């Protein structure tokens, strides 16, 4: 139950407390600062898709982007891979734009390829995948956008004082 009285159904019945565990600002900053190569699972060549915009932004900020999408041949000038296992070099972060039922298998794949972190975008919630990734030694971020977090912590937004640690559309009381 939310404070406005609405019932909020989470995809895999994860609790809000459990999700917040995977939104630690220290972990987010560590992942963003240490990553160089990011495999984006579900990256689309459609410029109107959020995955494309996130990939474009991250590439502009110096990260190497690796598209992982069996329905694409090339995205952002990089050859697309059908799966994480096909990526011919190590990846630091696996950033996921897939539906929650696909996440446990993707977490296992991320562990198998030796990724350093599993990042699940807004609305991509799977406690099972988080546990699999943690057991495999990966850092985990859940229900956060990598582009937004980069802009907030390392990009221009933090220079303007927007790194409040809180993302909301609610206005503060006067």
Q: How far is CA 132 from CA 11, 61, 89, in A?
A: 17, 30, 22
**Count of CA atoms in the C-beta half-sphere (13 A) of 9:** 1
Q: Identify the residue with better confidence: 7 or 150.
A: 150
Q: Look up residue 24 and give its two tokens.
A: 């630690």
CA-closest candidate to residue 118, choices 132, 102, 107, 104: 107
User: So what's the pLDDT on residue 152?
Assistant: 86
CA-closest candidate to residue 96, choices 143, 53, 62: 143
Q: Identify the residue with better confidence: 98 or 11.
A: 98
Q: What share of the chain is helix, strand, coil (3-state, %, to 5)?
A: 35, 15, 50
pLDDT at 2 over 50: no
CA-closest candidate to residue 66, choices 46, 87, 82, 48: 87
Share of the chain above pLDDT 90, in %: 74
Contacts of 60 (CB under 8 A, 6+ apart): none
CA-closest candidate to residue 104, choices 28, 17, 34, 14: 14
Q: What is the average per-residue pLDDT within 132-138?
A: 98
Q: Look up residue 173 and give its two tokens.
A: 């009381």
Q: What is the pTM of this model?
A: 0.82
Per-residue exposure over 45-84, b if at least 16 CB sit within 10 Å of its own CB, e if not: beeeeebbebbbbbbeeebebbbbbeebeebbebebbeeb
Q: pLDDT by residue (tens digit) across 39-51?
A: 999 999 999 999 9
Cα-based angle 149, 110, 150 (whole degrees, multiple of 5): 10
């Amino acid at each position: 139950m939310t404070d406005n009285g609405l019932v909020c159904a989470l995809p895999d019945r994860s609790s809000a407390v459990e999700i917040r565990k995977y939104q630690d600002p220290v972990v987010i900053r560590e992942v963003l600062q240490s990553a160089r190569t990011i495999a984006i699972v579900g990256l689309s060549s459609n410029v109107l898709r959020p995955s494309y915009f996130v990939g474009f932004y991250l590439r502009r900020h110096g990260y190497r982007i690796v598209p992982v999408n069996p329905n694409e041949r090339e995205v952002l000038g990089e050859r697309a891979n059908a799966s994480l296992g096909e990526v011919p070099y190590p990846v630091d972060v696996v950033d996921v734009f897939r539906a929650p039922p696909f996440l446990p298998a993707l977490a296992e794949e991320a562990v198998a390829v030796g990724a350093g972190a599993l990042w699940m975008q807004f609305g991509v919630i799977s406690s099972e995948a988080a546990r699999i990734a943690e057991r495999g030694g990966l850092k985990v971020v859940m229900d956060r956008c990598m582009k937004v977090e980069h802009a907030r912590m390392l990009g221009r937004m933090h220079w303007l004082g927007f790194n409040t640690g809180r993302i909301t559309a609610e206005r503060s009381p006067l």
